[in-house]
Amino acid sequence: MTPPSIAVTGLGLITGAGDDVEKGWSSIATGTTGIRANTLFDTSRLLTDWAGMVTAEQPADLDRCYALAATAVREALHGSGLDLDTVDRDRVAVVVGSSLGAMPTLEATHRTFVREGRLDAERAAASQLPCVGDYIAAEFDLRGPRVVLSNACAASAVALGYAAELLWKGDVDHVVCGGVDPLAELSAYGFSALGALDAEPCSPLSASSGLTLGEGAGFMVLEPVGRAAARGARVLAELGGYGLSCDGYHQTAPDPSGKGACAAMAQALDTAGLTPDDVDYLNLHGTGTPANDASEPKALKLLFGQEIPPASSTKSILGHTLGAAGAVEAVVSTLAIDRGTLPPTINTRGAASPSGLDIVPDTGREARPDVVVSNSFAFGGNNASVVLNRPGRTGAHAPRREAVQEVVVTGVAGLAGAAGDTAALAAVFAEGRPCFETFESVAGIGDVPVGRVDIRAAARGTNPSRARRMDPLSLFAASAVGDLYARHGKPSRAEAESTGIVFATGYGPVTSVLRFHEGVLLSAPAEAEAQVTGPDPEATRARSEATGSHPSVFANTVVNAAAGHVAMLHRYRGYTATLANGGTSSVLALQLAARVIARGAADRIMVVVADEFPEQALATQAALPGYARSAHIVPGGRTGTILSEGAAAILLESRAAARARGADVLARVRGFGASGEAVGIGRIGRDGAAWGRALRTALTDADLDPARIATVVSAASGHPLVDLAQRAALRLSGLADRPVLAPKALLGETYGSAGALGLVAALTGADTHGPVLLSSFAYGGSYAAAVFDTEV
Amino acid sequence: MSTAAFDDIRTRAEARLARNTKVKSMIIDRLGLDVEPSVVSDNQPLFGRGLEMDSLDTLEIVVMVNNEYDVLISDDDFEAFGSVNALVDFIEDREAAA
């Protein structure tokens, strides 16, 4: 089947420029600012209070993130004319990009935790990143595959890419895809500490003295053009392609040469079958920071030479909506095509752009753009470009959307709890000795077992001058990758540069987020206020910096920081994406990487997963039902489960790339399946129906009968509800009698890493021959499964 | 030279030495450097091959100096990052001017 072109049939938008598409577009097209004084929290210690703040009243009993997302999703669904009651909801996916998620609620729980030592476990658990997707799925009863991407400021551009992969492969009929981020103290204090905020509303590509934060949500309804035509839907634009790349250059600054950004744009156009000559307008990343505004024009010159199309930054109107920016700007780009107006860059104050670009100054310009490229770049050196084109517009060459090559596994490594590397993991399985025998005291509960990774040991393989900048998540990830290279051989310089990285984690950099909050919260505001001596700018600056914010800790609060560190350590320059989707993260990351390699958009991708559970994460989990009190797990035995830190690295390559460098093939990729159910944050269905759908989809994709599965790598963890649901799912899928490997019995529950650690266990154990099925679940009701085959 | 003047110079030298040592410890602690304060010399470059700091470390030092000494290092004051001595000179200049 030829992959379909993807129709954009519905748009939803809420930003500082207006709380729906019409208001927002009218403001954007006329160059009317959406930036105003931030009244959501105390800004007296920040460099500025300017922000693209949403003015519409939001419900008090719902996190601002969820409320903004719901508004935009509702509008997109309504605008698409899609009647959800007439479609197969199992085939409607939810793909969301967010950098912060429900950060306002998480901040409130951290405030009580830091100041009063009191932890509201349920609220903390319900404000984790994956919950954004779970909230949308439950609110709109969407039961297809679900994933949250979190590449900081590129998050929702990456989400559009993920959605495209699902539709090109034919996994789903519709995708509700977008991005959301609320204004939050974390990002406000963080960017302020970096000195990255403009004292005035930002003027990207003209004065370029800093960025202005914004907030909002942008969502789209995406579907194959044939399906849109069949139901008579109006197609606003097509999502033609996307490209992702990593700089491997710096934690927060872009590569000043612009090479990575150029590669992302080139790949996006190539995927769409288009060339730079086809581009009529660029919606720039255009943050307004000196670093971005110097490097992005260089990237454009590398790609376009002297003939650069009009290129503007709508962040001058909306502010930087962080993880929402990619989707918000894709909505704006779609409107540019559909309404025939190029959005302007405002706040130029009459100055020409020093870069010499046509930045469409001050007010919208009538035009008829056929092809638009929208850029989103992020911390960690992540570059994302998305191509939107007029319906039916095709290019000179064939799009690169179809699977054309086989994908194989050429390296695996992992660590979990006390087992610090792959060899130690093998010993754990050989000796049947669990790696979660550390006991830690949790207030109000007592001593509970946990699988702790020895962070000093994990840091040992990394140069200390690099290691000191890395947080636990990054160190675990780097340790797994280092172990993989030690076991399977290091790449040459050229192989490393062509390597991509897909990073996944259940819940992200918990330590860094809490440490950053602690710094801000513990710097007594009263004392900071006392330093205000007058209205002169020096005093304002001095006041603003006495916030306890650590810039380098802030750099590690983005979920993709670990990917950035690993890319810098190994000089990766290829594809990059980051997922934060709880327990399905590993399998979904493997799926994404395999799909990208299969269609020839990458030769090799290192899939890295890591999970850390510092004190307050353990306290959160131990307070919820189903946590074991003794260091003993029996999957299916109602013992309760035990949290373990862990990480794993899986190297995927095309078979041709593996052959070219003489690499041993450990397994080949056979298929994936993902599913969801609308049960709400923190819940899973006990009937196993949705879970079973993921298993059966993976079997179908792998073209295998259940009886052919040699090993089921089980997600059973000793948690009674999880084990019950999975047993039902296996029964519903004809897998109940297949041999089972239950790694969590010895490794504990690592959530995000679990699926990949299961694959490590299966591929490093002696007894696995034939097809291996990985089963995984995430709280909130989403499931993912994969089939690998050791017969290569 | 009178004894009083000598004592004054000695007191000031000791105070300066103590401050240099404190600033070194603070930098090492804040940036998580894997070195002992005693092996960092007063004139060793902080960047490049010296202590291998980068732009994020600069921001950390700006915040640290602001919190500790109420002295602001702006983007134009890059000479402050030359070495520990240069940084302490900068702090003392600003304190004297305040």
Characterize the bridge pairing of strands A174-181 and A782-789: unpaired
Q: Which residues contact A23 (CB under 8 A, 6 or more apart)?
A: A17
**Are residues A549 and B74, on separate chains, in Cβ contact within 8 Å?**
no
pLDDT of residue A85: 96
Per-residue pLDDT tens digits for A232-248: 999 999 999 999 999 98
What does the angle CA A358 – CA A6 – CA A783 come to, to the nearest 5 degrees?
120
Same domain, yes or no: A184 and A259: yes
Instruction: Answer yes or no: is A515 within a domain.
Output: no
Contacts of A251 in chain B (CB under 8 A): 56
Concatenated DSSP letters for A341-367?
A: EEPPB---TTPPPTT-----BSS-EE-
Three-class DSSP category at A43: coil
Give the rounded distance of the alpha carbon of A199 from its chain centre: 30
Per-residue pLDDT tens digits for A423-460: 999 999 999 999 999 999 998 999 999 999 999 999 99
Per-residue pLDDT tens digits for A698-735: 999 999 999 999 999 999 999 999 999 999 999 999 99
Burial degree of A710 (CB within 10 A; 0-12, 13-18, 19+): middle
pLDDT of residue A533: 38
Determine the distance in angstroms separating the CA of B15 from the nearest CA of chain A, rounded to an integer: 25
Q: Which of A389, A421, A450 is the last residue of a domain?
A: A389
Nearest CA in chain B to A194: B59
Same domain, yes or no: A499 and A573: yes
**Nearest-10 Cα torsion for A578, A278, A261, A362:** -100
User: Mean pLDDT over residues A532-537, rounded?
Assistant: 39
Q: Would you place residue B74 in the very low, low, confident or very high pLDDT band (cuts 50, 70, 90)?
A: confident
List residues bridging with A499 in a β-sheet. A604
pLDDT at A525 > cutoff 60: no
- Going through A508-657 in order, the beta strands assigned E by DSSP cover 576-580, 604-611, 646-654
Instruction: Answer yes or no: is A715 within a domain.
Output: yes
What are chain B's domains? 3-97 (1.10.1200.10)
CB count in 10 Å sphere of residue A115: 11
SS (H, E, C) A745-778: HHHCECHHHHHHHHHHHHHHCCCCCCEEEEEEEE
Give the C-alpha separation, A751 to A779, whole Å: 10
A153 tagged catalytic:
yes
pLDDT of residue A539: 39
- Going through A660-751 in order, the beta strands assigned E by DSSP cover 667-676, 711-713, 740-741
Per-residue pLDDT tens digits for A248-302: 888 888 999 999 999 999 999 999 999 999 999 999 999 999 999 999 999 999 9
Q: Would you place residue B55 in the very low, low, confident or very high pLDDT band (cuts 50, 70, 90)?
A: confident
pLDDT at A665 > cutoff 50: yes
pLDDT at A765 > cutoff 50: yes
Which of A465, A538, A551 lies at the smallest CB-CB distance from B63? A551
Same domain, yes or no: A469 and A327: no
pLDDT of residue A438: 96
Give the C-alpha distances (Å, rounded to integers) separating A409 from A227, A598, A663. 35, 13, 10
pLDDT of residue B40: 87
Which of A193, A468, A545 lies at the smallest CB-CB distance from B32? A468
pLDDT at A767 > cutoff 80: no
Concatenated DSSP letters for A365-412?
A: EE---SEEEEEEEETTTEEEEEEEE-TT---SS--S-S--S-EEEEEE
Which of A193, A252, A542 lies at the smallest CB-CB distance from B70? A542
Same domain, yes or no: A229 and A142: yes
User: Mean pLDDT over residues A384-390, rounded?
Assistant: 98
Q: How many residues does chain A have?
A: 792
Determine the distance in angstroms separating the CA of B85 from the nearest CA of chain A, rounded to an integer: 22
CB contact residues (below 8 A), chain B span 41-80, against chain A: 52, 54-57, 59-60, 62-63, 66-67, 70, 72, 74-75
Residue in A250, A536, A545 to test binding to B, most B beta-carbons within 10 Å: A545
Per-residue pLDDT tens digits for A489-501: 999 999 999 999 9
Domain of A352: which CATH number?
3.40.47.10
Active-site residue among A285, A550, A565, A719?
Answer: A285
Structure tokens of A198?
């403009």
Same domain, yes or no: A344 and A442: no
pLDDT at A311 > cutoff 60: yes
Structure tokens of A340?
């025939």
Q: Which of A361, A389, A417 is the last residue of a domain?
A: A389
Same domain, yes or no: A487 and A349: no
Residue in A550, A554, A565, A568 to test binding to B, most B beta-carbons within 10 Å: A550
Burial degree of A34 (CB within 10 A; 0-12, 13-18, 19+): buried
Same domain, yes or no: A296 and A355: yes
Positive or negative torsion for Cα A473, A503, A303, A220: negative
Instruction: Answer yes or no: is A15 within a domain.
Output: yes
Per-residue pLDDT tens digits for A48-73: 999 999 999 999 999 999 999 999 99
Per-residue pLDDT tens digits for A595-643: 999 999 999 999 999 999 999 899 999 998 899 999 999 999 999 999 9
Number of domain units in chain A? 2
Determine the distance in angstroms separating the CA of A263 from the nearest CA of chain B, rounded to an integer: 25
* A741 within 8 A of A429, measured Cβ to Cβ: no
Q: Would you place residue A354 in the very low, low, confident or very high pLDDT band (cuts 50, 70, 90)?
A: very high
Query: How large a percentage of chain A has pLDDT more than 70?
Result: 97
Instruction: Answer yes or no: is A532 within a domain.
Output: no
Same domain, yes or no: A380 and A416: no
Contacts of A545 in chain B (CB under 8 A): 62-63, 66-67, 72
CB count in 10 Å sphere of residue A456: 9
Residue A416: name the closest of A392, A435, A437 by CA.
Answer: A435
Residue A733: name the closest of A775, A769, A679, A771 by CA.
Answer: A775
Which of A193, A469, A538 lies at the smallest CB-CB distance from B59? A193
Give the C-alpha distances (Å, rounded to integers) separating A457 from A524, A624, A764. 36, 30, 22
**Are residues A545 and B62, on separate chains, in Cβ contact within 8 Å?**
yes
**Are residues A468 and B62, on separate chains, in Cβ contact within 8 Å?**
no
What H or E segment, with its residue span, contains residue A37?
Answer: strand A36-37
Please tell me what DSSP assigns to residue A255. P
**Are residues B66 and A546, on separate chains, in Cβ contact within 8 Å?**
yes
pLDDT of residue A547: 66
pLDDT at A524 > cutoff 60: no
User: Mean pLDDT over residues B57-82, rounded?
Assistant: 86
* A589 within 8 A of A493, measured Cβ to Cβ: no
Per-residue pLDDT tens digits for A409-424: 999 999 999 999 999 9
Q: Which of A389, A417, A450 is the last residue of a domain?
A: A389
Contacts of A523 in chain B (CB under 8 A): 67
Per-residue pLDDT tens digits for A82-110: 999 999 999 999 999 999 999 999 999 99
pLDDT at A550 > cutoff 90: no
Give the C-alpha separation, A703 to A708, whole Å: 10
Instruction: Answer yes or no: is A463 within a domain.
Output: yes
**Are residues A552 and B59, on separate chains, in Cβ contact within 8 Å?**
yes
Instruction: Answer yes or no: is A143 within a domain.
Output: yes
Q: Amino acid identity, residue A605?
A: I
pLDDT of residue A738: 97
pLDDT of residue A760: 97
Instruction: Answer yes or no: is A207 within a domain.
Output: yes
pLDDT of residue A526: 43
* A610 within 8 A of A755, measured Cβ to Cβ: no
* A152 within 8 A of A560, measured Cβ to Cβ: yes
Same domain, yes or no: A64 and A137: yes
ipTM: 0.71
Per-residue pLDDT tens digits for A678-705: 999 999 999 999 999 999 999 999 999 9
Same domain, yes or no: A591 and A728: yes
pTM metric for this prediction? 0.94
Give the C-alpha separation, A286 to A293, whole Å: 6
Contacts of B52 in chain A (CB under 8 A): 465
* A165 within 8 A of A595, measured Cβ to Cβ: yes
**Are residues A551 and B75, on separate chains, in Cβ contact within 8 Å?**
no
A285 tagged catalytic:
yes
Instruction: Answer yes or no: is A396 within a domain.
Output: no
Active-site annotation of B, residues: 54
Nearest CA in chain B to A528: B67
Residue A415: name the closest of A590, A644, A696 by CA.
Answer: A644
What does the angle CA A352 – CA A357 – CA A361 come to, to the nearest 5 degrees?
50
CB count in 10 Å sphere of residue A39: 12
**Are residues B31 and A552, on separate chains, in Cβ contact within 8 Å?**
yes
Same domain, yes or no: A294 and A416: no
pLDDT of residue A265: 98
Nearest CA in chain A to B75: A195
Same domain, yes or no: A649 and A735: yes
Q: Is B31 on the interface with A (CB under 8 A)?
A: yes
User: Mean pLDDT over residues A145-169, rounded?
Assistant: 98
pLDDT of residue A537: 41
* A288 within 8 A of A294, measured Cβ to Cβ: no
Which of B60, B67, B74 lies at the smallest CB-CB distance from A552? B60
| A679 vs A525, residue with greater confidence | A679
Nearest CA in chain A to B71: A542
pLDDT at A670 > cutoff 50: yes
Query: How large a percentage of chain A has pLDDT more than 90?
Result: 90
Counting one residue from chain A and one from chain B, the pairs whose CB atoms sit within 8 A come to: 54
Q: Which domain holds residue A45?
A: 6-389
Q: Would you place residue B36 in the very low, low, confident or very high pLDDT band (cuts 50, 70, 90)?
A: confident
Q: Which residues contact A704 (CB under 8 A, 6 or more apart)?
A: A670, A671, A771, A787
Determine the distance in angstroms separating the CA of A99 from the nearest CA of chain B, rounded to an integer: 20
List residues bridging with A463 in a β-sheet. none
